[in-house]
Structures are given as structure tokens and as C-alpha cells.
């Protein structure tokens, strides 16, 4: 069975790594990896391939950045050409980025069977580019791998046939369990003069937070003021760094908050575990905080991972409420097993290989 896996952005490298390993362990699959090039900096891409033992992509389409339509369109065109040449039995896409949507459309238009990992997530905010990518990808997928019960319910409500949906758990939970043993915080804590459980780890990159200078200014002010209670370490996504520079806010932020370049996957796992609290607008980071029982303040007004808020380990937080939320971070008695048993990748690999048998 020939599977074409399409990745492009940082979180997809993590998700694909565990499924690629599971496919290898099961044998019988010939997987080709297509990297759209959406993320291209060494710190956003290469280091992930190295740390996650991902094979070199068979194709790097080198698409890079751009407005949504242009970026997605260029990816669609280039992905279609590769799929026509490779003629895979199935196309596999992950998550909710523009690379996901481009891969899904390319497969659907060629009539190739399509599987979507992390299906059924909904924030119910169409203004988020990721929400559009999720909705459309799920509509054209033949096999939908849902990470949670809630995701299954969301898909059923949209009329997706039950026999296409598989509840498998979350591949990011598999990855966290698999790689956490290799993560070590000591050197980074020392380098930045931080002590375990005495700092907040923050990440911000979502378009709704970075693209509006008024909102971005409110976030900078909130972080600066919160840093009087607790030191803050902020690995800066390139999107955020350039938005801050454009808005003339970088200097103000750096005067109070330790801003560093993006962390590798292993360093990120280590620092999430070491933090007293995580402040983020990232879907993946809010889940990783939960995996490690670290309270999380989600800098958004909604989340596609509602379970995290319902569990009591995370709260949605506006910039104005950040300092107060840091004084009383959410904390529940225990972290319930919401994301499966750490076997999502294995279940996905089995289902993919079975789909080949029944085709």
C-alpha cells in the first residue's frame, strides 16, 4: 500500500512522526512524505525532523509564506503534480493548517482516498483560518481519525457518516509520552536564570492575536504587567516577532519578558513540564500543558479543545484578565484521560492498512 503523507507546519511534523513509526512497525506500507514548505526556517522545520527521527521528505515543495489564498493555491497545484506522479493508494493529512487543506483538496479532486488525522475539532469561529481548513478537510475525507469523544460528536452533527469516523485518541499524546524521556530542562533553565515551577512559559502566534496591532499591544501590556508576579519565557514564532517589530512593540516586550527564538520539540516539552503555568494561544501547547498537569491560560475567547476547559486545567483568558488569572491559575484534582491511551498512532496505522484490504 502506498501512502502519501502531506505535512508543512511545525505541529504536523510531531503528529506525522508517531504515525510514520507505527506504519513502519506494522510493515506493508510504502509511505512517501511530502513537505509543502509552509514552515521553512531551521528552527521551525529541520530540527523537528532531526529530533523526531522523521525521514527526509521525498518532496519539499518549497512553497513558503504568503497570503492565504496564494499560499494554499500554490500548495494545491504543487501537491497535485506530485500525487499524479506518485499515484498513491491513499493520502494522509494532519491537523488544520493551509497545508492540510491543500493536500485534502488535491487528493479529493483526483479522486484519491483521503484520511484526516485530528478530525472533528471545532472552535465554531469561522474567522479563524484553521476552522475553515478543518471544516473543509473533514467534508472531503474518507477516513476521519477523531482524537476525542467531542470531536466524534461534532462530526456526527455535521452529518458525516459514522462508518467513516474512528475514535483513536490523540497522536500528540502518543508523541508526548514517547519523547518526554529525552527532554531535559536543566540547561535552558540555567541559560535564562529560571527555576523549576517558578516561571510562566508563553507562546503566541495565532492570527487573531498577532494581526491586529491593538490586540497585540494589549497582549504585550498584559505580559509585561504579569511578569511582575512571575518571570515569563516567550519563545517567539517568526510571525509574532515580525508583527511585534511592525507595531513597534518588541522593545517594550523585551524589557520585561525573556523573548527567545522558537524552541525545538524536546526543549518545548521540557519547558512545559518545568513551568508553573503555561500561557498560550496554540492548540498543541494547551494540550501538552494538560498532559503534564500544568495549569494553562488560553489567550483566546474560544478553543477547539473544549475538554481542557471543562476538565478545570485550563481557562480562556483575555489580555486584561491575565495578571489576575496568573495569581489564581486553574488547577483540578487530577488530569482525566481525555486523549486516549497513547495508542492513537498504532490504531491509525492499523485502520489505514485495513482500508487497503477492503478497497
Using DSSP's 3-state secondary structure scheme, residue 226 falls into: helix
User: What does residue 279 show for φ and ψ, rounded to 5 degrees?
Assistant: -120, 120
Nearer to ligand UD1, 130 or 170 (CB): 130
One of 178, 205, 237, 328 is an active-site residue; which one?
205
The least CB distance from residue 282 to ligand UD1, in Å, is 6
The least CB distance from residue 87 to ligand UD1, in Å, is 27
**How large is the angle between the packed helices 238-246 and 213-226, nearest 10 degrees?**
100
Distance CA 62, CA 229 (A): 43
The least CB distance from residue 215 to ligand UD1, in Å, is 15
Distance CA 161, CA 141 (A): 11
Nearer to ligand UD1, 99 or 227 (CB): 99
Nearer to ligand UD1, 64 or 293 (CB): 64
Kindly write down the DSSP assignment for every residue of 81-100, as one continuous string. HHHHHH--SEEEEETTSHHH
237 as an active site residue: the answer is no
What is the DSSP secondary structure assignment for residue 237, as one 8-state letter? P
| Neighbouring C-beta atoms of residue 187, cutoff 10 Å | 10
The contact set with ligand UD1 (CB under 6 A) reads 9-11, 38-41, 44, 65, 96-98, 129-130, 205, 237-239, 242, 282
Distance CA 210, CA 299 (A): 12
The least CB distance from residue 158 to ligand UD1, in Å, is 20
User: Is there a contact between 338 and 307 (Cβ–Cβ < 8 Å)?
Assistant: yes
- The C-alpha angle with vertex 111 and arms to 110 and 114, in degrees rounded to 5, equals 105
Query: Taking Cα atoms as reference points, which of 249, 234, 221 lies closest to residue 323?
Result: 221
Distance CA 43, CA 47 (A): 6
Active-site residues, by number, are: 205
Amino acid at each position: 500500500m502506498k501512502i502519501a503523507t502531506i505535512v508543512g507546519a511545525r505541529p504536523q511534523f510531531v503528529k506525522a512522526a508517531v504515525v510514520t513509526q507505527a506504519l513502519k512497525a506494522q510493515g506493508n506500507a510504502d509511505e512517501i512524505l511530502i513537505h509543502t514548505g509552509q514552515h521553512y526556517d531551521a528552527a521551525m522545520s529541520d530540527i523537528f525532523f532531526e529530533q523526531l527521527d522523521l525521514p527526509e521528505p521525498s518532496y519539499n515543495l518549497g512553497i513558503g509564506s504568503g497570503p492565504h489564498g496564494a499560499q494554499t493555491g500554490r500548495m494545491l497545484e504543487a501537491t497535485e503534480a506530485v500525487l499524479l506522479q506518485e499515484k498513491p493508494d491513499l493520502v494522509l493529512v494532519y491537523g488544520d493548517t493551509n497545508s492540510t487543506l491543500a493536500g485534502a483538496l488535491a487528493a479529493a479532486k483526483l479522486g484519491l482516498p483521503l484520511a484526516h488525522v485530528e478530525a472533528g475539532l471545532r472552535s465554531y469561529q469561522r474567522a479563524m483560518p484553521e476552522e475553515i481548513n478543518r471544516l473543509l478537510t473533514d467534508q472531503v475525507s474518507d477516513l476521519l481519525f477523531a482524537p476525542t469523544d467531542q470531536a466524534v460528536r461534532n462530526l456526527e452533527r455535521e452529518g458525516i457518516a459514522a462508518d467513516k469516523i474512528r475514535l483513536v485518541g490523540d497522536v500528540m499524546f502518543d508523541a508526548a509520552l514517547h519523547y518526554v524521556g529525552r527532554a531535559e530542562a536543566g540547561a535552558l533553565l540555567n541559560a535564562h536564570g529560571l527555576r523549576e515551577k517558578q516561571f510562566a512559559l508563553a507562546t503566541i502566534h495565532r492570527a487573531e492575536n498577532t494581526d491586529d496591532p491593538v490586540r497585540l499591544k494589549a497582549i504585550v501590556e498584559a505580559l509585561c504587567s504579569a511578569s511582575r508576579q512571575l518571570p515569563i519565557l516567550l519563545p517567539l514564532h517568526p510571525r509574532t516577532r515580525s508583527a511585534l517589530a511592525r507595531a513597534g512593540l518588541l522593545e517594550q516586550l523585551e524589557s520585561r519578558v525573556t523573548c527567545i527564538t522558537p524552541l525545538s520539540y524536546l526543549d518545548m516539552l521540557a519547558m512545559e513540564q518545568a513551568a508553573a503555568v503555561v500561557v498560550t494561544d496554540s492548540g498543541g501547547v494547551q494540550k501538552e500543558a494538560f498532559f503534564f498537569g500544568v495549569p494553562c491560560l488560553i489567550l483566546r475567547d474560544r478553543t477547539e479543545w473544549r475538554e481542557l476547559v471543562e476538565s478545570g486545567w485550563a481557562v480562556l483568558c483575555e489580555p486584561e484578565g491575565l495578571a489576575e488569572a496568573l495569581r489564581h491559575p486553574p488547577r483540578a484534582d487530577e488530569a482525566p484521560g481525555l486523549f486516549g491511551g497513547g495508542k492513537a498512532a498504532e490504531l491509525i496505522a492499523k485502520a489505514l492498512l485495513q482500508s487497503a484490504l477492503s478497497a
